[in-house]
Structure 1
């Protein structure tokens, strides 16, 4: 049965279309094979292929070929091809706009980031490599202070081109004409005969161009006669209404000399200003400042008559302006000013300034009381009270004043100050009732009670305390009443009032204000930080009483905060007395018995005052509260050792090793025995301590140094090696081991140790600085610079390395090097001290002193900085400056810096004070 399904492969036996070209559909050119055409048959020509493509396109209905330009897809109105049948609608246009806006936003965002990155790179480049004009900007600004004499003293620039100068410029000679020689010879000769024409005329005559002669002698005589005639007329030869005037001719000439002559430019400016003011007063005659300015212009021009005329016109046009009347009074003499001010009172009778100006012109006190005209002026009442010489009269006037003006706080307070304490209380009570919203009245009441408490030195202590308690109650009641009357002063305003009371000598009132208001507007969790900030701010302003009151209130709320007690103790130490400091420390250890630092501060203060038994008693109490405290044991040992009780100190150390048994106590025991010459005992203690604490590096350091002092280098080397193995991250051990090898004459091994240490402890500036020192001591300056450069690459912010780099530079380039160092490590005290030394070398004394001050403020623990400053003051400062540096160094008690530590830890200087160490270090510094 035949199948009806079509044969899918039947097209293979069908002939190809006439326009068919193999491979054309996938973009290839037509091709033929040898099996199709046989050997040496050419393919279809270009024309045939083009025609085939054209027919193929028409048959498929494309309406175009491959030769269409690509711009067809850019114009939606003329688009054809795949989407030619689609319609370009508003949605399509909106989508295109959205895509365009997204593209623009993306480009803008990338542009902002790109520009920011470029600006950051440019700023970094300019910071690392500034322009020459930026490096010398400070020098340019300094040229403004150069005086003319210094400019003139600058030598001329010589020939720096190293070229041969032309000989003819300096060796060329010229022949001088005879006329010059004859003229020079006749310069010093004098004529001893007059010209015949001058002899006939009797004077010096000069011929003019017109041929006439000028007789200067006659002109001079005529001028003298005219001047003499004018002086005679003024001095009294002429009668004026039957009376003569007496004028001193010398005084007249002197007055003529005092006349200021104005230049043409000034005269022109005055004329233009006069025109402007004329236009101003004509356009707006009721504008008083215009008349005042016009009168001042005439006064400046020296035309007082015109100025008075102008100000009179102003008074006529602006009679209600007090300023124009005052200006008119100023431009006239005393008598005329009285008349003017009397006229002013008729127009502005309520002006306080007019009445005060009129009172100033009066010489009699009884004429200076204009209160009947303006009884409500506080200023007039105050001026009137000041005129009274009697306290009784002033009190009567103030009593009347507060009746007339009951709302003036100043008048009430002035009256209270003039009354007795008892009557002053009554006055303040009346003032409080008259002004219940005034906080000044309540503060004045508190100050009055405090003044009454200390007015009588023989007053019993109970009465004095009762009055002081009344101060607190008065301020508290005042705060409550003000709050009840809706007068809500902020916490900052109350603190300012407290500071004002302290400044005016009322510390107890200040304390009462702080107690009543310091807790206002403060969240519970922020109280401690807020109060500490208030105390620091008050102390910075110099208001110690306010700071003390704030800390006292904070300690009542937080009695168990040891840091708060320590801050209060430091405040008393800096600004209080020994008694107040002792009281605060006694309370501190009572509330915080476990705070070792407070016990130590108390014992130290007792020791500094010379009361050693009291210091021992404090430490005994501290032992009871802290029986295993390492710091208290060591403080007791130090106290006994420095007071000559060596046996007691040794016994304390033995007991401490049994009770506390810490690595530091064992180390201090070894150091104690070493300081007192018991080397074998110290080595035994160290051996026992190393078995207990093998990871404590200072034990290995002390052991190695003892053997090094004994010249036992192999044993010392073994101690340092054991320490390095046990504590490979301890920098000081590596440095001591390196110095041991250097002392043994093995610089190569010293370098190797430091290189190994830098591999184990990378980026450590102390190791790099020690490596630089090894190279310098070995005599290799070039190698030292190379090592220093490598160290700066690894530690670019190290102040120690930058300081070495600055001093390694030649002197002219040290300043620019210091600028780079400050940019890399601006707040490093070593760099700041180095800059101060540079100013010292340049003899810039004040700048050097300022930079030394800045260095010690940055870090007070660096002893070398204090020593450099003292050395500087010894050379350029006064004795007061030197004593101030020593005093501040003793207060700071520095412990670090290379030279300071080497001197302080030397056995020869054991037991010396901070002052002695400072003196030795200042002598050792080079």
Structure 2
């Protein structure tokens, strides 16, 4: 049976053609997928059947643009025929052996529906990604634009500084600026164009008068219009015969002035218009708030919602009023806050805010309403009411009423007492302590106003009512000290400590010491010392007492609480009477912050308790000597000899005492005894130096040669012997002495430098260099030898050699402050600042670097900075004499006489002993009798002004 001959069931039902037959399927349509049908495979199929998710067959259909461009199909032809019309022409006539078939390569449109849908998807993705990157892209563009503007600024930005300078140009300078000529070239000034000559006004006026036209003219004085006809007849014949354009312009300006005056004098207007300054006034109108208007509206809505939700919430009304105040609507703010006062009448904050927003007259009435509502509970309203009054009498009246309503308010009592006279205040305080018995301030204020006997009673009552407060005890001790009862002060403080501990009060050592500092600054020194003595041993371990007490004394001295520090030292010496270190620290403290009598009395006790301490004997003798009592100094040294047999320091101190007082024979005898009983190289050196100072060079050489035979490893002997030979022009002997000394003292830098300078003074620059190079080989990484080598080249005028040598020195000694200081001033003026920054990074706390920076500020004429850095330098190392000399020279040139005297006094007290320029003067044998003040002036005068 042939299945093809069986008709379809649908054909039997209806032979009418359906509307969708022959119509292309929709995009993405799969037949049967809606009812769950799937494909199947038969024997005749080559491959698998179509899956439900396969792409439809019309995915390569023509695009809409292509379909629209095609002509409509004829009747009787189907879609397949239309597609076949677009097929390529494959006839032999259209074929070429070289080019192939003719026709356009792009005649067919490859753009199909899938491409169109993909383009839409990609466009949406690109749009989404573009929105995400928009903010970043805008920021990047803005940043690149700013960088571009910085690299290529506009002309107006380049000349902005010159524009600012134009504001200071006077009128005469403006008038003296020459006029700019015609900058055009000849061709531009004389173009080859047709030239026109304007017609004179007389011809135009004559033609107008001949015509029948009417001319309207304006009177420049009145601004009224006048109509002139072409026929000059009657009254109009007196009109001018020609038009004056200048007068027309004047008339126009006059008419404008008339209109502006009329507008400014208008009665209906509320303001007067300034035609000249109108735009300027608009520019000066700066809004009072910089917030966004939308933010203000949002805040209003939020606060309104809070007020409506909880009308009894006072902060909401206050915030609303302040918002309106900020936006400039002061009346609205006042209305809101007054409405809030009605809703929240028990809130003192809202009444105070309402008084602040109201004018002074209305503020009083607002506060009065608030006081009536909260008379028994609000202290702030009473105080605000008193502040609004201007007269003292009215304020007193308000406080009296307030105290009737709230008698237990300490703040009200304090405010009321401050307005009263002492006698009335005392009466008022008597009532105040009854109402507020737990207020320490009121008890203490009453005690200050009472006489001595009544004050003691008041303080006793205060201790009964407040047994846990230490200030009452301190006040009682101050009272006894003021009355001269010094023995009672320590008893009161000790009793206070026991009472407070009994009442469970924790004793804080740091707080008590701070109270002692405050007490001393208030003038009660004995009470301060008593407080320190009572708690100095509180809460500290026994093994840490010595270190802790010395640290406490140092801190108190830094706070300028000298009496408290003195009490700490006294307590430490009482516990450790044989400790030499504590006696020495106390002696230095008295030397710096005490008097001559206190220092001598302390040293007298020190030598009794520590007789073996040489330094204490020497300080005691020096104090007597500086005070002018030479005999007492001799007696102290004699006692020191008895206790300390054959002590080198005591021998040399006795020699210095006699030599400073011109007792040279006694000094020689003391030195002779010292050489016999205590033969040391230093004693021989001091003996030779005394003979050298007195001019007895042969005796000095003899003593030095004797010392060399016994102590050839003592470099100062070689140095002195070489300098004596050099002084007497025996250069060869001096050179030999230095060379012999270096054999046994090759690590002594001073000997290498002396030998180098000797060769340099003789003109042997190469030998000087070789000596320093040999010294650097023996003593590597020594900054002094490198510095001397650099200065040898500078003195020889070889700066181009000195610069790389200094760089090499800094590589070998990167932490040397003296090399960095030399490097700063070896640079050009423009590079010194950057060099100083590098020096401070490497050696921030080096005195030479700080001194170089001070001199650098001096060179730049920054006097205040230079003085500050000089003070930092002197504080860091007061033993550097060069720093004192430079600072003194600076004060001589740029300071006052008081500053010079104060600096010189500090220098004498510091007794500096080091420094290149300082030692050149102080160790010169000619200046051996000079004092420190004299040396300071000589060095300061010899120092060059930095440039």
* Map 1:205-604 → 2, pairs under 5 A: 217=258, 220-221=261-262, 223-224=264-265, 226=267, 263=287, 269=293, 272=297, 274=300, 277-300=303-326, 303-348=329-374, 349-361=376-388, 363-364=393-394, 365-369=396-400, 370-391=402-423, 393-453=424-484, 467-604=485-622
TM superposition shift of 1:733: 1.6
TM superposition shift of 1:303: 4.6
2:422/2:449 contact within 8 Å kept: no
Listed one character per residue, the Cα deviations across residues 385-443 of structure 1 (whole Å, up to 9, x for unaligned) are 2333251x333322222222221111111121122212211221121122221111211
Task: Give the secondary structure class of the aligned counterpart of 1:793.
Answer: helix
Instruction: Give ranges in structure 1 of 5+ residues lacking alignment.
Output: 1-146, 155-168, 187-194, 208-212, 232-256, 454-466
2:382/2:398 contact within 8 Å kept: no
- The answer as to 2:218 corresponding to 1:202 is no
Distance 1:151 1:562 in 2: 70
TM superposition shift of 1:779: 4.2
2:289/2:327 contact within 8 Å kept: no
- Work out which of the residue numbers 838, 858, 869 in structure 1 matches 2:856: 838
* Map 1:46-195 → 2, pairs under 5 A: 152=165, 175-176=188-189
Distance 1:782 1:426, change over 3 A: same
Deviates more, 1:720-729 or 1:876-885: 876-885
Task: Give the secondary structure class of the aligned counterpart of 1:449.
Answer: helix
TM-score for both structures, normalised by structure 2:
0.69
2:553/2:566 contact within 8 Å kept: yes
TM superposition shift of 1:905: 1.1
TM superposition shift of 1:266: 5.8
Distance 2:187 2:326 in 1: 61
- Work out which of the residue numbers 685, 691, 694 in structure 1 matches 2:709: 691
TM superposition shift of 1:635: 2.1
1:873/1:882 contact within 8 Å kept: yes
2:288/2:327 contact within 8 Å kept: no
Distance 2:795 2:385 in 1: 87
TM superposition shift of 1:557: 1.3
Partner residue in 2 for 1:851: 869
Listed one character per residue, the Cα deviations across residues 351-388 of structure 1 (whole Å, up to 9, x for unaligned) are 11112222344543344302121111111122222333
Distance 1:778 1:309, change over 3 A: closer
1:669/1:685 contact within 8 Å kept: yes
Distance 1:668 1:417 in 2: 65
Distance 1:339 1:777, change over 3 A: closer
TM superposition shift of 1:659: 3.1
Distance 1:230 1:686, change over 3 A: closer
Partner residue in 2 for 1:860: 878
Task: Give the secondary structure class of the aligned counterpart of 1:372.
Answer: helix
Task: Give the secondary structure class of the aligned counterpart of 2:941.
Answer: helix
2:289/2:326 contact within 8 Å kept: no
TM superposition shift of 1:578: 2.2
Task: Give the secondary structure class of the aligned counterpart of 1:197.
Answer: strand
Listed one character per residue, the Cα deviations across residues 598-657 of structure 1 (whole Å, up to 9, x for unaligned) are 222222222233333333333233333323222222222222222222222222222222
1:861/1:896 contact within 8 Å kept: yes
**RMSD of aligned C-alpha atoms?**
3.6
1:203/1:216 contact within 8 Å kept: no
1:599/1:622 contact within 8 Å kept: yes
Listed one character per residue, the Cα deviations across residues 225-279 of structure 1 (whole Å, up to 9, x for unaligned) are 6289999xxxxxxxxxxxxxxxxxxxxxxxxx99995549769749635555444
* Map 1:735-746 → 2, pairs under 5 A: 735-746=753-764
* Map 1:660-809 → 2, pairs under 5 A: 660-809=678-827
Task: Give the secondary structure class of the aligned counterpart of 2:403.
Answer: coil
1:360/1:368 contact within 8 Å kept: no
Distance 1:151 1:652 in 2: 80
Distance 2:564 2:744 in 1: 54
Partner residue in 1 for 2:111: none
Distance 1:258 1:327, change over 3 A: farther
TM superposition shift of 1:674: 0.5
Listed one character per residue, the Cα deviations across residues 526-564 of structure 1 (whole Å, up to 9, x for unaligned) are 111111111122222222222222222112112222222
Task: Give the secondary structure class of the aligned counterpart of 2:757.
Answer: helix
Listed one character per residue, the Cα deviations across residues 141-162 of structure 1 (whole Å, up to 9, x for unaligned) are xxxxxx96897499xxxxxxxx
Listed one character per residue, the Cα deviations across residues 738-767 of structure 1 (whole Å, up to 9, x for unaligned) are 222333333333333222222222221112
TM superposition shift of 1:174: 6.0
Distance 1:648 1:300, change over 3 A: same
Distance 1:772 1:386, change over 3 A: closer
1:204/1:217 contact within 8 Å kept: no
- Work out which of the residue numbers 627, 630, 636 in structure 2 matches 1:609: 627
TM superposition shift of 1:707: 0.9
Distance 1:152 1:630 in 2: 74
Distance 1:717 1:446, change over 3 A: same
TM superposition shift of 1:587: 2.0
Instruction: Give ranges in structure 2 of 5+ residues lacking alignment.
Output: 1-159, 168-181, 201-214, 226-246, 249-253, 273-280
Distance 1:595 1:415, change over 3 A: same
1:204/1:215 contact within 8 Å kept: no
Deviates more, 1:802-811 or 1:902-911: 802-811
Listed one character per residue, the Cα deviations across residues 42-65 of structure 1 (whole Å, up to 9, x for unaligned) are xxxxxxxxxxxxxxxxxxxxxxxx
Deviates more, 1:506-515 or 1:592-601: 592-601
Deviates more, 1:693-702 or 1:811-820: 811-820
Task: Give the secondary structure class of the aligned counterpart of 1:489.
Answer: coil
1:277/1:290 contact within 8 Å kept: yes
Task: Give the secondary structure class of the aligned counterpart of 2:189.
Answer: coil
- Work out which of the residue numbers 909, 919, 924 in structure 2 matches 1:901: 919
Distance 1:500 1:434 in 2: 25
Listed one character per residue, the Cα deviations across residues 447-506 of structure 1 (whole Å, up to 9, x for unaligned) are 1111111xxxxxxxxxxxxx2121101111111111111101211111111112112211
TM superposition shift of 1:910: 1.6
Distance 1:613 1:404 in 2: 70
Distance 1:171 1:880, change over 3 A: farther
Distance 1:260 1:330 in 2: 28
* Map 1:648-663 → 2, pairs under 5 A: 648-663=666-681
Distance 1:338 1:153 in 2: 54
Give the count of matched residue pairs.
712
Partner residue in 1 for 2:663: 645
Distance 1:173 1:845 in 2: 60
Distance 1:271 1:484, change over 3 A: closer
Distance 1:789 1:577, change over 3 A: same
Distance 1:323 1:715, change over 3 A: same
Partner residue in 2 for 1:921: 939
Distance 1:217 1:755 in 2: 98
Partner residue in 2 for 1:46: none
Distance 1:908 1:170 in 2: 79
Bigger CA radius of gyration: 2
TM superposition shift of 1:901: 1.3
TM superposition shift of 1:907: 1.6
Partner residue in 2 for 1:71: none
